[in-house]
Amino acid sequence: MSAAVLELRDLDVRYGAVGAVRGLSLEVQRGEIVGLIGPNGAGKSTTLHAVMGIIATHGGDILHEGRSIRGMAPEAVTRTGVALVPEGRRIFAELTVEENLKLGLAGRRTRNGDGISDAFSLFPVLHEMRRRHAGALSGGQQQQLAIGRALVANPSLLLLDEPSLGLAPSVVDVVFGALQAIRESGVTVLLVEQRA
């Protein structure tokens, strides 16, 4: 049996003396879309940040495709094939849509295809607006850009932190509709949301 794309074993993350995540174990198998649902303060974003190496863990282990990535720097985690779409999108407003997408190439682990064309295929609005400054896009378009930028790196695992936050219901439908296509392209997805 092949290893899970992501396995958390008894994960423990603390902010000083305060426990943010305690004893979390889960597996995400290849081809799955898995959601962590819970209220603010439940440790969902902290879990994603721990996987990416943004926050140090206090205990437990994090395995990506059977290999421990616990303690790796974020750029090293990205090179193993993990990409994060952070809460709040964090696009570069002064750069164009195309320039934002090109930034995703820095973490690209394989050179198959160009990645940017794939992002344009998944989100056609990005192709239409490729020369616009990203700051001029709507919130929904910025979220599509953030997801597209992560996918340009050709990850095997995509982490999404509250992808529906602040979006109109019609845009949420577009974003979540894209998750099916992302899964079908071979990318496994772990997302966190406050609501199912």
Q: Is pLDDT above 80 for 1?
A: no
Sheet bearing 59-64, strands edge to edge: 18-28, 6-15, 59-64, 67-68
Give pTM, 2 decimals. Answer: 0.91
What lies within 8 Å, CB to CB, of 56 at 6+ separation is: 13, 50, 71
Q: Quick one: average pLDDT of 83-109?
A: 88
Q: Return the pLDDT at 110.
A: 62
Dist CA 160 CA 189 (whole Å): 8
Q: Return the pLDDT at 20.
A: 94
Residue 79 burial class via C-beta count within 10 angstroms: exposed 0-12, middle 13-18, buried 19 and up: middle
Q: Is residue 26 included in any domain, yes or no?
A: yes
Question: To 5 degrees, how large is the angle CA 104–CA 106–CA 111?
Answer: 90
Q: What is the dihedral of CA 89, 91, 93, 98, to 10 degrees?
A: -130
Q: Is pLDDT above 70 for 109?
A: no
What integer best gives the mean pLDDT of the chain?
91
Q: Quick one: average pLDDT of 15-43?
A: 93
Q: Is residue 163 included in any domain, yes or no?
A: yes
> How crowded is the C-beta side of 31, counted as CA atoms within 13 Å?
2
Q: Return the pLDDT at 171.
A: 86
Q: Is residue 32 included in any domain, yes or no?
A: yes
* Residue-number span of the structural domain to which 67 is assigned: 6-193
Q: What is the CATH number of the domain that holds 58?
A: 3.40.50.300
What does the block give as tokens for 18? 């305060």
Q: Which pLDDT band holds residue 113 (cuts at 50, 70, 90)?
A: low
Give the DSSP per-residue string, 60-115.
Answer: EEEEETTEE-TT--HHHHHHHTEEEE-TT----TTSBHHHHHHHGGGG-S--SS-S
Q: Is residue 1 included in any domain, yes or no?
A: no
Q: Return the pLDDT at 71.
A: 94
Q: Give the chain's domain count.
A: 1
Dist CA 151 CA 119 (whole Å): 7
What lies within 8 Å, CB to CB, of 158 at 6+ separation is: 83, 85, 147, 150, 151, 182, 187, 188, 189, 190
